[in-house]
Amino acid sequence: MKPNPSPLVNIATVMNFAAEGTDYDSTFEEDPEPTSSGSARKPSHHRRQAHLQHNLLVKDRPKREPKADQSVFREEASRDEGRRIRAQVLSLSAYDRHKQLINDYVLYFPGATDRLQRDTSRDRRDIDVIRANHKFLWDDEGSGQPQRAETLTWGQRLAQKYYEKLFKEYCICDVSRYKENKVAMRWRTEAEVKAGKGQFVCGSRKCDENAILRTWEVNFGYVEEARKKNALVKVRLCPDCSYKLNYFHKKKDVTKDRQSKRNQEKKRKRRHPSDSESQDETGLSQQERDLLEKKKKLDEERSEKKDAKKASEIWSAPVETEQEKSREDDFSEYLEDLFM
């Protein structure tokens, strides 16, 4: 009979299982103290096992992606903020949206409102148009009549209307450059006429003297529209300003006629003293006062007759229809409001 090998196999397997069992540890068990030289190699064996297990775990773990740069984070944050602000702005009404945008612009950009100002470098006021089209005399060449409005531009018509509002009996002059033989002249305005400037006060622009004024007739030569022109004007000046006016050439003095009339009046009073005695405090004789009274009575009678005639014709007269104002009337009213 053959021997049975099964008991030997069983013994070998048991020994293998026992040997393998020595490789497993438990965290709940304490390490046995080394008792022999063979047991001293166990720590290195354990380290190899731990290293292998760590490598297996690291291989199985997914790798972390690298972090993005800060610029990417900023871009994403700004996009998110933009989407949020856009949704907020679209939820507002048109007026609230406009108000919010303007407030944000003023708050976040100080001083930027200067860009919102309109360019006024090419703006022209009415006085600028008048200065650009001003003429010392607006009469036709040689005819002495004013130019027709149909042949003029809007600026020229405005300057002509301004010219018609000026008083052209005496001139206002500037003699500050008299040593260069340069004297400026212009006509008087309504305010200057009311103040007596140029007639009862010295006609020099910066002089307010009102004593011993003399009237000078001047052939005023000037350049206008690149042409040499002349105009005969009168100006009343004090002695100092008269000296400056006549620094190079003696002008014609037209105050002598008035002085001669005064001298003749004095001579007449000396020859007929009775006429001077009959004058009252107003300086008028009895005959002159009688004439004035008669004239007043006639004027009163005429005014009464006119009023009575108008009262009788008020019901028989046709109905007056309002007529539209012409362009010249509109210009005149506009200038009156402008220069009053």
* pLDDT tens per residue across span 50-77: 777 766 665 555 667 777 788 888 999 9
Return the sign of the alpha-carbon dihedral for residues 40, 42, 46, 47: positive
Please tell me the least confidently modeled range out of 25-29, 64-68, 178-182, 331-335. 25-29
Model confidence over 3-35: pLDDT tens digits? Answer: 444 444 444 444 444 445 445 554 444 555 554
- Tell whether the model's pLDDT for residue 198 goes beyond 60: yes
pLDDT score at 6: 45
63 or 164, which is more confident? 164
pLDDT band at 36 (very low <50, low <70, confident <90, very high): very low
Kindly report the number of other CB atoms within 10 A of residue 215's CB atom. Answer: 20
pLDDT score at 236: 94
Domain borders along the chain are 124-165, 166-254, 255-291
8 Å CB contact between 278 and 285: yes
- Average pLDDT on 75-84 reads 92
pLDDT score at 40: 47
pLDDT band at 141 (very low <50, low <70, confident <90, very high): low
pTM of the model: 0.46
pLDDT score at 238: 95
% of the chain surpassing 70 pLDDT: 67
pLDDT score at 18: 46
Rounded CA gap, 239 and 142, in Å?
A: 35
- Average pLDDT on 300-322 reads 72
16 or 139, which is more confident? 139
- Tell whether the model's pLDDT for residue 335 goes beyond 80: no
8 Å CB contact between 129 and 157: no
8 Å CB contact between 240 and 208: no
319-328: b (≥16 Cβ within 10 Å) or e: eeeeeeeeee
% of the chain surpassing 90 pLDDT: 37
Model confidence over 112-125: pLDDT tens digits? Answer: 777 777 888 888 89
Return the sign of the alpha-carbon dihedral for residues 201, 202, 203, 206: negative
pLDDT score at 1: 44
